[in-house]
Amino acid sequence: MTMQDPVWAYLKDRDLTLGPPPHKSDALRHWTLTRDAQGVAWAVLDKQGASANTLSQEVLEEFALILDRIDERAPKALVIRSAKREGFLAGADIAEFRGVIDEAAIRSRIEAAHAVVDRLAALTLPTVAVMHGYAIGGGLEIALACTQRIAVEGTRFGFPEVQIGLHPGLGGTARFTHTCDPIKAMGFMLTGKTIHDRQARAMGLVDAVVPERHVQAAVNAAVAGSLSQARQSLVDRAKDSAPARHIAARQMRAEAEQQAPSAHYLAPYALIDLWEEHGGDLDAMKRAEIASFARLMLTDTAQNLIRVFFLRQQLKDLAGETAQPIRHVHVIGAGAMGGDIAAWCAWKGLRTSLSDVKPEPIGGALARAAKLYEKIAHGDRLKLRDALDRLIPDPDGLGIAQADLVIEAAPEKAELKRKLYAEVEPRMKPDAILATNTSSIPLPELREGLARPERLVGIHFFNPVSRLDLVEVIAHEELAPEVEAAARAFVGRIGKLPAPARNAPGFIVNRILTPYLAEALILMDEGLAPETIDRAATDFGMPMGPLELADQVGLEVALDVAAMLKRELGWPLPDAPQWLADKVAAGDKGRKTGKGIYVWRDGKPVKAKAEPPDPELADRLILPMVNTAVAVLREKVSDDADVIDAAMIFGTGFAPFRGGPIHYAKERGVEEVVAALRALEERHGARFAPDTGWDALR
């Protein structure tokens, strides 16, 4: 996006004919209100003390003052813009809803916010929302209350409320389904995904998509009435009839159940109920939306998902900044992980070279990158081309000498990695950083023989790289602080979430995850069907079962990590079942080979119907993870329980609505969890013995 000064060059000379506030108490802190020579009022939002505009209570109250002045001075039209470079307007200030316990207070507050937005919608003059960067949540609801919406090229739109256990709450459920095809609008809200400007234009969410330099012309056209306005077709209105809503709602519930089971996630079903009952009546749907939103806000699911939102922000903040920015990355190893790491770095704007001992893996990595870019470029051929240009096949490793960061993604063999470092380190720039993507090998074991061990850091990505946001940044006692800072900043620079960890076998995620996978294999050895075991985990809320996950990761990787952790930590785990070792020896390693614990077809496991699991089964799978998370905290692999919870949520998908393993234990009750572990220890052995770290949580 080509942006001008934050308050936009074409606003700088506007006269203040709307005048000063009549009373000092009416002064605006976050908004600027001006009127141009054509008599058009411009309300520009620049929330003070914040990097992004959010709809806090104060911002909405000031907007009500703006509407007062519009009523008093009757400009020709009202245009709403943002002064933030990054985007238009995000949703409500979620921090204001944390820990709320009074439904009546929530309803009162939402009713007051509705009244402000309804006033905007009721204005008889043209109202135009000009959006850039992003318009999401409450910001998009403000835009929907305007008569016309203009998007600057590259703008993204979304209603992400379902991701925090809610649905739109400022009239968006009603206005959106009365603006576009209601079934498409519902699908948009139910997934919580963002769409790009062309998709928004096609569905009628915006009336025009223009480059920044044409915004003024588009506004002039909207004010003059010559900008075409997207409207519902007769077919769209028919889809909002009661019979059509009843039929569509049944299908929506069935589809939602596949992605967000109603036993755990209430918001999608509340939204479907809202539309099915009130969809044909805009005012009734808005009223019902307020009550539904207030009820959802008080659920444990919503409060825990709001917690997850802040955990994400906490990890983002850990990225920080550095005086040593990374511009050129070289990745050694073009396998599934290394190739995908390189592809992601190039996509995020970094010059990235990729080497391997053979040329064939590099070719495969480039093909995967092209396929990924096709998917995420959303038709932007220039963006796709530029990313491919930045991804440089480098079979001779010439990029090592120019790289600011060299990432090793070789197989999990310490001797192999050390041999590789001996060849690579002399070719690196003196101030370059050497990073290992090891998933579990202790860094002191890897730094042996290095001339500059203080420049070796762990940067551990998770598979699939393009979808999992977490990256562990592993420190060791010889690591230079500026190298760790640069590594965290690099992770943030490529749009990932850094989870700092001190060196220890398995670090955070694999250390906690391994007992979960191991117990699933023990249960299989006891004769339980893999489908039943996996169902116990998904019934708890995990995105997939442990055995499907083992196939995804690769059975040989799971075996290596489990063996290493058992050896390093002295875990009282039985040896891996012989049948599993035989599978790996036969080449049946999981999804990547088409066969592992499951047979895989078209990227999905073929499963028989799962029997209902025994109630104890979930505890046998989940509590070893929770117990190990407490051990990781006690040992100060991370001394922050929130970072541990966030790592498990963003690195493994640990049931987000439960808030993370340690948070889950606290909500369930520490004494109850410890008692359950002791009962499992009596029945199944020492691997369930409660960690001594529980004492600190009591």
Identify whether residues 100 and 235 lie together within a single domain.
yes
Residues 522, 453 share a domain = no
Q: How many domains does the chain have?
A: 3
Helix or strand (DSSP H, E) at 136: strand 134-136
Cα–Cα dist 134/47, whole Å: 15
Among 487, 503, 519, which residue terminates a domain?
Answer: 503
Residue 586, SS3 per DSSP? coil
Q: Cα separation of 111 and 68, whole Å?
A: 18
Query: What's the CA gap between 521 and 405, in Å, rounded?
Result: 38
Rounded to 10 degrees, what is the CA torsion of 39, 40, 46, 48? 40
Positions of E strands within 426-570: 433-436, 456-461, 470-475, 497-502
Beta strand spans in 523-678 (E): 599-601, 604-606
In a domain, 558, yes or no: yes
Would you state the structure tokens that stand for residue 364, as one six-digit string?
């495969």
293 and 170 Cβ atoms separated by less than 8 Å: no
Is residue 645 domain-shared with residue 517, that is, in the same domain?
yes
Judgement on whether residues 271 and 351 belong to the same structural domain of the protein: no
Whether residue 605 has a cis bond before it, omega within 30° of 0: no
CATH of the domain at 288: 3.90.226.10
- The 10 Å CB-count burial string (b at 16+, else e) for 417-433 is beebbeebbeebeeebb
Q: Is residue 458 part of a domain?
A: yes
Q: Is 448 a catalytic residue?
A: no
In the block, residue with structure tokens 């609008």: 185
Same structural domain, 659 and 691: yes
CA angle 94, 100, 106 (to 5 degrees): 80
Q: Determine contact, residues 350/420, Cβ cutoff 8 Å.
A: no
Residues contacting 578, CB < 8 A, separation 6+: none
Asked, for residue 309, whether it belongs to a domain, the answer is: no
Q: What is the DSSP letter of 685?
A: -
∠ CA 251-257-261, rounded to 5° = 155
Catalytic-role residue among 72, 86, 161, 519: 161
Catalytic, out of 141, 289, 472, 519: 141
Does 338 share its domain with 215?
no
**Do 522 and 474 have their domain in common?**
no
User: DSSP readout, 58-78?
Assistant: HHHHHHHHHHHHHHHH--SEE
Last residue of a domain, one of 468, 483, 503: 503
Instruction: Looking at the structure, tell me whether residues 282 and 341 fall in a common domain.
Output: no
pLDDT at 549: 93
**10-residue block means of pLDDT along the chain (698 residues)?**
41 40 61 92 94 92 94 91 94 78 89 96 96 96 97 95 95 96 96 92 95 95 92 91 96 94 95 96 96 95 94 94 87 95 98 96 96 89 94 96 97 93 96 94 94 97 93 97 96 97 93 94 94 96 94 87 83 85 92 94 93 93 98 96 98 95 97 98 96 93
Examine residue 25 and state whether it is found in any structural domain, yes or no: yes
Q: Which of residues 472, 503, 534 is at a domain's end?
A: 503
**Beta bridge mates, 210:** 152
Neighbour tally for 365: CB within 10 Å: 25
Residue (of 80, 51, 62, 75) closest to 25 by Cα position: 62
φ, ψ of residue 398 in degrees (nearest 5)? -65, -25
Instruction: Give catalytic status of residue 423 as yes or no.
Output: no
Tell the burial category of 167 from Cβ atoms under 10 Å away from its Cβ (0-12, 13-18, 19+). Answer: buried
Predicted confidence at residue 26, as pLDDT, reads: 57
Q: Cα separation of 669 and 84, whole Å?
A: 44
Statement to judge: residues 455 and 543 lie in one domain = no
Q: Is 36 within 8 Å of 14 (Cβ atoms)?
A: yes
Q: Can you give the pLDDT at residue 17?
A: 38
Pairwise CA distance, residues 687 & 149, whole Å: 60
Look up residue 685 and give its amino acid. Answer: G
Secondary structure, 3-state, 142-183: HHHCCCEEEEECCCEEECHHHHHCCCCCCCHHHHHHCCCCHH
Q: Can you say whether the dihedral through the CA atoms of 57, 279, 200, 226 is positive or negative?
A: negative
In the numeric block, the tokens 């996996």 are attached to 534
Give the whole-angstrom CA distance, residue 427 versus residue 232: 63
Q: Are residues 361 and 264 in the same domain?
A: no
Q: DSSP string spanning 251-315?
A: HHHHHHHHHS-TTT--HHHHHHHHHHHHTT-HHHHHHHHHHHHHHHHTSHHHHHHHHHHHHHHHH
The closest of 434, 425, 438, 429 to 455, measured between CA atoms, is 434
Establish if 522 belongs to a structural domain: yes
Which residues, in sequence order, are CB contacts of 55 under 8 Å at separation 6+?
Answer: 89, 90, 91, 92, 93, 113, 137, 138, 139, 142, 170
CATH code, domain with 363: 3.40.50.720
286 lies in some domain: yes
Give the pairing type, strands 194-196 and 156-158.
antiparallel
Q: Do 495 and 524 lie in a common domain?
A: no
Q: Is residue 628 part of a domain?
A: yes
Domain region containing 672: 510-697
Residue 256 lies in a domain: yes
- One domain for residues 60 and 80: yes
CATH number of the CATH domain containing 517: 1.10.1040.50
Q: Rounded to whole angstroms, how far apart are CA atoms 241 and 264?
A: 30
Q: Quick one: three-class SS letters along 364-426?
A: HHHHHHHHHHHHHCCCCHHHHHHHHHHEEECCCCHHHHCCCEEEECCCCCHHHHHHHHHHHHH
**CA 621 to CA 626: how far, in whole Å?**
10
Cα separation of 149 and 147, whole Å? 7
Tokens 């806000």 identify what position? 297
SS3 content of the chain, % helix, strand, coil (to 5): 55, 15, 35
End-to-end distance of the chain based on CA atoms, in angstroms?
A: 52
pLDDT score at 74:
85
Residue 142: CB atoms within 10 A of its CB come to 27
pLDDT of residue 469: 96
